Amino acid sequence: MSRKTERYPVKSANSLWHVYKTVPFLKVVKNFIVIQIARYTPILTLKNWMYRHLLRMKIGDETSVALMVMMDVMFPERIKIGSNSIIGYNTTILAHEYLIEEYRLGDVIIGDRVMIGANTTILPGVTIGDGAIVSAGTLVHKDVPANTFVGGNPMQMIQEIKKDEKS
């Protein structure tokens, strides 16, 4: 169950203690402010503009990011969301993780026509294929194949989605 992450060991203290050696402080402050404004913005076109132009995220056309979604504050530019996808209320998308002896970075790639249920957490280094559905409250800790329905903690495949079921 290996995610696609780059690993960076640290020699002393825990990796979060070294956070501003890994990402500039002012970048984090700017990203935090933009993300907090976007979390409460009900205007989807404005929210997508902020993600694309202020955070350098790749967001497809007609993608809807619900209220309270928490994008990665440190490395939002490592998140890509395809076209016509929905990211549900209060979902968290992480492109980094700080551990005791190392920190890890990984791109998060969410395909086209993907539906992510509310209160989901997506870990770094994960790809979610086109047409996938992720149930509410899921911890996405590994790749999700295209056209599958997954859910739970630990995440499990619930069923494949056949072409005639997509409407």
User: Which pair of structure tokens corresponds to residue 94?
Assistant: 């992480």
The full length of the chain comes to 167
Active site residue 96: yes
- C-alpha separations of 66 from 25, 26, 44, 85, 143 in Å: 27, 26, 8, 11, 22
Q: Which residue reads 């990665």 in tokens?
A: 72
Compute the distance between CA of residue 114 and CA of residue 68 in angstroms, rounded to an integer: 18
Compute the distance between CA of residue 63 and CA of residue 27 in angstroms, rounded to an integer: 25
Compute the distance between CA of residue 13 and CA of residue 151 in angstroms, rounded to an integer: 36
Active-site residue, from 18, 53, 96, 141? 96
User: Which pair of structure tokens corresponds to residue 148?
Assistant: 């599958």
| Residue among 116, 99, 133 nearest 10 (CA) | 99
Active-site positions read: 96
